[in-house]
Amino acid sequence: MLRGVGLRKVFKTGLFGGKRIVAVDGVSIEIEEGETVALVGESGSGKSTLGRILLMLIRPDEGKVFFDGIDLTKLRGKELKRVRIKMQLIPQNPEEALDPRWRIYDSIAEPLRIHKLVDKSEEEDRILELVKAVGLKEEHLTRYPWQLSGGELQRAVIARALALNPRFIVCDEPTSMLDLSTQASIVRLLMKFQKMFGISYLFITHDLELAKVVADRILIMRSGKIVARRVESPS
Amino acid sequence: MEVVAFRMGIFRNTLCTLGLGIIVFIALMGLLAPIIAGDPYKTNMSERLKPPSLKHLFGTDQLGRDVYSRIVWGARTTLLVALTISIISMTVGCLLGAIAGYFGGIVDDVIGRIIDTFLAIPELVFNIALVGIFCVAYGTSIWNVILAVVVTNWVSYARVMRSIVLSLKEREFVICEKALGAGDWYILLRHVIPNALGPIIVLATLNMGNVIMTISSLGFLGLGVQPPTPEWGQMINAGKNYITTAPWLTFFPGLFIALSVLGFNLLGEGLQEVIGRKRLVE
Amino acid sequence: MLKVEELRVHFRTEFGVVRAVDGVSFEVERGEKFTLIGESGSGKSVLAQSILRLLPKNAYVSGRIIFEGRNLLELGEEEMRRIRGRKIAWIPQSQSSLNPVLTVGLQCAEPVMEHFKTDKKSALLKVARMFEFFGMGRGRISDYPHQFSGGMRQRVLVAMGISADPEFLIADEPTKGLDASKRKNIAELFEKIDKTMLIITHDLEFAERVSDRIAVMYCGEVVEISPAKEFFREPLHPYSKGLLESLPSRGLKPIIGFQPSMINPPSGCRFRERCEFAKKICERAPPESIVDGRIVRCWMYAERGWA
Ligand SMILES: Nc1ncnc2c1ncn2[C@@H]1O[C@H](COP(=O)(O)OP(=O)(O)OP(=O)(O)O)[C@@H](O)[C@H]1O
Ligand SMILES: Nc1ncnc2c1ncn2[C@@H]1O[C@H](COP(=O)(O)OP(=O)(O)OP(=O)(O)O)[C@@H](O)[C@H]1O
Ligand code: SF4
Ligand SMILES: [Mg+2]
Ligand SMILES: [Mg+2]
């Protein structure tokens, strides 16, 4: 369903772009319908960058991304927007992922409003249902992001990513701020959605144990390259 | 709730309270002018150049007009003109700066070049030249002054806005908006600009002081608001010939110019402190 | 060194009063590493922020926080500022506390300069050495936060927190988003630093390794305080047991449900609705019992009433 071919991304930093950081270095990756691929690897190895390239949030310097056979690197504006309904991101830093001036409810409702998918009354039902599923309560919805705990924010961001019923989600360390029990509930919720709607996940994590439980395949990344691929027996 | 907390912060800050007090005082003067002051245009040749007294609090001028009334009505003129200038230049500057910062590339190069050029020219000299040109082209009108000041004034907003937007667009929440499928203009108008408004409000407050100075200077040079409309700078100009014999003609307009500039600067400094601290707490 | 007594932090919100911390008492001794674990949203970070007096304005704090003989809640803002950073350092949970328009190196150098009264150059040198220790190349100190990966920013936060060499360190999830080898680095570092620490974490492996005592929070209350070794051998409170059972390696079995609302917490034992051992008596608030020197708040361990 999703395929990245020969992806490469070099960041230039320093005053005049003098320093070069090769974040992703010739990666090819393929994710099937309803499959979970775990991406593990040390910090700074380029996992988040790869995830963002697959979602076209960063344009790769080289390589192509195909979604259902369409080359995403060629799309612009409106066409890209239409594809984005189907692919979402659970970002790594939930504290930075929401507009600090927006209430949680509006932030979660935003994707539905942007794509004009549901009307007002439906919107509220849908959001309450999502929010309950991730273990938040109505009382959290009227608050601003800084009035929530780290883990609560992370779950709000997960609810937002699920709101559009996407077919592919890049989960960038979706449980890094959660206690073990809540982590288990959320991972189970993601797996349930996968069964119900056939979602595919790219699951970025540092926890190899967790990766073994959730993933069909595990990719290991080091300095921008995928250095190992493992198939996990279904658990 | 946020608004309440914000307001509490403002009143707990001495600078803010003081500045706001002065501004409210002057704004009330302007608002209530018809009630608290007499006719600023009424001449009375038998009462020329009278020193301050109970009848004429600030004395009378060379045409026998009540200086107090002219000062009070002058507050209205000055604030209205300054506010118009600020609103127009803020809108233009913020939009251009935000567009330059957000879209980058050629747009940014062009806008950036314009900003640099304007920054290199001494502001007041340019204002004077522009008023001159506009006067010749369109005849005397208050809009000449407004336009001339806007032409140089938007630049500071654009510069600040551009740099804020440059750092905001790297923030994760903006990237997440893209992931949701939001368009560039939507992100710019709904997320980026609102989040940049804090520093812009500070800038606008501090800038009001500058604008008042500029209007008064133009008035003093005889290029600003034209007589008989009461305006402080122009009043100083008219009074400078009598500076030894009737110093109140220059003293009171000067005092009120200084007071209003001080008010906006105090409020600006105070707001800067409050907003800075608020960021820390968050 | 730090003594928290009957601490309560309440937030006023549109939906009612959030009792984020509700009657918490504990003591951290000099040189001890005291770790708080517990459900997401149970009030751990709020507790830490109340020690530093960094809570937003809608917070109402009562109780006592005694640090080196003085009640922090009664100090003036000026005195508090002197204590923050110099005596008590804080590694915040949120990475948004990094300044987006300042290079990372300068941000780390600031506390060093202030504390050791050195110039910018030697402070930056020290920061560069620290970056190397954390596996991030010296050259990166002139980059901005958004140019770092999530785990790198986390390491920057840790570096910033320990750079001023404080007497008391509050570390809020210092290992989140880090891979195993970097977590080990930080654990080793924490073991080596001979300072008093209050650590908040969800990373139980890390907690087991560095901490002397563990406190478990649930819904605004501390439900168990135990020495770390004994805690991981055999947790007492049913919530603690459930937490350890949810490890991915043990099959990812969550405790059913989520933490209840903190606006209207259930009466009696707050864990009641999710507890597999719950009985009638649990509708009354459980007393604090002491079992082998371990403190636990559950009827199961009460002298009377369970059987
Ligand atoms: N916008 C950027 N500008 C410059 N360098 C960047 C940028 N984004 C990422 N990098 C660099 O690219 C490399 C890979 O970053 P990436 O965020 O993909 O790592 P990661 O594998 O997700 O790590 P972590 O587990 O710590 O999140 C890092 O060295 C990082 O500093
Ligand atoms: N400013 C605030 N206003 C209202 N409620 C708040 C505020 N700050 C925190 N809370 C609430 O207080 C509770 C405790 O939050 P806290 O941040 O301490 O949780 P935590 O234990 O650190 O959780 P996590 O592990 O998820 O970070 C949460 O339910 C949160 O929603
Ligand atoms: S008091 Fe009762 S409900 Fe609460 S934890 Fe103990 S056994 Fe469970
Ligand atoms: Mg990452
Ligand atoms: Mg927390």
DSSP-assigned states of every residue in chain B? -HHHHHHHHHHH-HHHHHHHHHHHHHHHHHHTHHHHS--TT---GGGTTPPP-SSSTT-B-TT--BHHHHHHHHHHHHHHHHHHHHHHHHHHHHHHHHHHHHH-HHHHHHHHHHHHHHHHS-HHHHHHHHHHHHHHHH-S-HHHHHHHHHHHHHHHHHHHHHHHHHHHTTSHHHHHHHHHT--HHHHIIIIIHHHHHHHHHHHHHHHHHHHHHHHHHHHHTT-SSPTTS--HHHHHHHHGGGTTT-THHHHHHHHHHHHHHHHHHHHHHHHHHHHHHHHHH-
Mean of the pLDDT values across residues B166-184? 90
Q: What is the mean pLDDT of chain A?
A: 91
Q: Which of A101, A148, A176 has the most B C-beta neighbours within 10 Å, making it the best mutation to test the interface with B?
A: A101
pLDDT band at B90 (very low <50, low <70, confident <90, very high): very high
Q: Which of C224, C274, C277 to mutate to test the pocket of ligand 3 (most atoms within 8 A of CB)?
A: C277
What's the gap between Cα A117 and its chain centre? 21
What pLDDT digit, counting tens, does each position of B257-266 carry? 999 999 999 9
Binding-face residues of C in 59-118 toward B, CB within 8 A: 96, 100-101
Q: How confident is the model at residue A117 (pLDDT cuts 50, 70, 90)?
A: confident
Whether A205 has a pLDDT exceeding 70, the answer reads: yes
pLDDT band at B3 (very low <50, low <70, confident <90, very high): very low
Which residues of C are less than 8 Å from B8 in CB distance? 57
Q: What's the pLDDT score for residue A234?
A: 54
Residue-level pLDDT at C206: 93
Across the interface, which of C13, C15, C252 has its CB nearest the CB of A187? C252
Report phi then psi at B152, rounded to 5: -95, -25
In C, residues 63-122, which contact A (CB 8 Å cutoff)? 93-96
Output the pTM of the full model: 0.88
Closest CA in chain A for residue C181: A42
Integer Cα distance of A64 and A5 in angstroms: 5
Average pLDDT over residues C167-180: 92
Tell me the CA–centroid distance for residue A174 and ligand 5, in Å: 15
Domain housing B141: 2-281
Query: Do residues B81 and B146 make contact, with C-beta atoms less than 8 angstroms apart?
Result: yes
Q: How high is the pLDDT of residue B251?
A: 87
pLDDT digits (tens, 9 = 90+) for B5-47: 455 566 677 888 888 899 999 899 888 888 887 777 777 777 7
Residue B1's pLDDT band, with cuts at 50, 70 and 90, is very low
Q: How confident is the model at residue B280 (pLDDT cuts 50, 70, 90)?
A: very low
Look at ligand 2, atom 8, and give the residue with the nearest C-alpha: A147
Ligand 2 atom at minimum distance from A151 CA: 26
Q: Is the CB of A44 under 6 A from ligand 1?
A: yes
Q: Which domains does chain C have, with CATH numbers?
A: 2-81+170-257 (3.40.50.300), 88-165 (no CATH)
Give the pLDDT score at B11.
Answer: 67
What mean pLDDT do residues B121-136 have? 84
Taking the C-alpha atoms of residue B34 and residue C161, their distance in angstroms, rounded to an integer, is 61
Chain pair A-C, CB pairs under 8 angstroms: 144
- Give the count of domains, chain B: 1
Check pLDDT > 60 for residue B278. Answer: no
Report the CATH number that the domain containing residue B104 is assigned in CATH. Answer: 1.10.3720.10
State pLDDT tens for residues A22-59: 999 999 999 999 999 999 999 999 999 999 999 999 99
Q: Is the dihedral of CA A108, A112, A114, A118 positive or negative?
A: negative
Q: Is C150 a pocket residue for ligand 1 (Cβ < 6 Å)? A: yes
More confident residue, A33 or C138: A33
